[in-house]
Structure 1
Amino acid sequence: MMKVSEEEWWTPNAITYSVVMHGFRREGKLVEACDIVREMVNMGFFPNPVEINLLIQSLCREGKITEAKRFMEECLSRGCAVNVINFTTVIHGYCQKDDLDAALSLLDDMYLSNKHPDTVTYTTVIHALGKNGRIQEATELMKKMLGKGLDPTPVTYRTVIHWYCQMGKVDELLQLLEKMFLRQNCKTAYNQVIEKLCSFGNLEEADKLLGKVLRTASRVDAKTCHSLMGGYLRKGDPLSAYKVACRMFNRNLIPDLKLCEKVTKRLMLDGNSKEADYLMLRFVERGCISNQHQEHLQS
């Protein structure tokens, strides 16, 4: 495509090839952009991993995952600096198309190419497996990741927690979290589990875990308790919401007053005036509200 002029006064260099390649890519002419890279390599210039990844991303966005993989493998075979991010981008493309067998196969191929997957690579596939209900495979892959000495990130925790909670596999999740904690502890993991269980309406399982959260009694824990209380109110169970509020007070956490006022009103409507009075009394004892305010709520 780009030849030395007849006068031989100008010869394209790496920057020239790169500019032309990006121009074709931005115009959506990806075949031409890939051809420029091939010509560039033939001339002894090599694209860097960022340039390779931009082309791979563009191919994947157009759904041309096979072409993206072929282009990456060609770059690798010709000595270009293909890295883990390039492999992960192709794997993400396969996951986007729900072609998980291809994604898993490429994950294994990375080791053959001496490109060891990182936490992002594993998390990408784990998320896709969970999304497709393949929880057992996600579990095995998570264990493999931990066995490789890789530390789970906050994104890894959120991914695992979301799909296990959605599938209602709480016991399996807790066992897996214990293994994850050995590599990288996540102080808010149980908070995330409870809040996710609440979002899926699994309040009973969420309540069982509340003791693990209330050990630290932080602001994050208060937010988690409020999520559970809100879930009980939506379910029409103000008495359980009241019990959560009491447990918060016992751990020196002050529940949200407006939320507790809703709990109190629902308790009184259900004939549980004793519990309603006691809940508001706890606020009075802490100096959060006055006796007059309590009397107003009771009227």
Structure 2
Amino acid sequence: MQRPDTMSNAPKNKRPTKRWTPARIGIYLFLISAAAFFLLPLYVMLVTSFKTLDDIRESSIFSLPATLTLEPWAIAWTSACTGLECTGLKVGFWNSVRIVIPSVILSILLGAINGYALAFWRSKYANLLFGVLMIGVFVPYQVIMYPLVRLLSTVGLFGSLPAIVVIHSIFGMPVMTLLFRNYYAGLPEELFKAARIDGGGFWRIFIELMLPMSTPILIVATIMQVTGIWNDYLLGLIFGGTELAPMTVQLNNIVNSTTGERAYNVNMAATILTSAIPLFIYLASGRWFVRGIASGAVKG
């Protein structure tokens, strides 16, 4: 009789080798092309922002800087002309911060309260109210821009910080309501009923039960609102005025300046500085955004 260790010489299971099928090759080619489509402009902006003007004139837009310089970044931040004043983007940066923080907090808070009420405290006209809010998602800004300007001018708020915060909160509320309503609709209703039996009211259930369970959707809502409000140009231009012009408006003024020689290196540096905050947020919290969406943001 053969010994157990020599009875079988069958080959061990091997991991299947990946075959380069036409479909797999096509997928990789598409992914590489898509990555190049989005990364190539970023590469051009980066290398141009570190070049001198002489280097830009004498070299290709894809070539690396012959002389590395940080002067365009310093000019873009501190002394680039954004109209009659040459104070750079730093003023617009702090204007954007002052606009974004209260606008994000207010729009998310209103959306969370509306979504919670529509998901659990269903009144007779709850579906009608939800439909009206959803219509607001598809209304173009331009349709109601003039009435809003007239309204804010009448009450004396036009061109002020409260005005632009209220405008961003109003336009953000329908989308935030949709996100939170769908998220809360996916939660077990037994939790809400148990809280009601224990004597919880509207605000107590919302603050002590719903908000602690809303971390995933709060992250999604924050990312959407911060990037959306930070990147806004039209509302900031109209309702912010000259004193509260956000970073995007000042970037447009720098790029479209017609005085003297066009400084492409300063323009590229200013563009990267303006987009740095949304880009950092997406890179730092992208996986949380996907988790929040997957955990119920599009359910219901």
Q: Do these two structures clear the TM 0.5 threshold for a shared fold by scoring above it?
A: no
> Taking structure 1 as the reference length, what is the TM-score of the superposition?
0.19
> Taking structure 2 as the reference length, what is the TM-score of the superposition?
0.18
Higher relative contact order (CA 8 A, sep 6+): 2
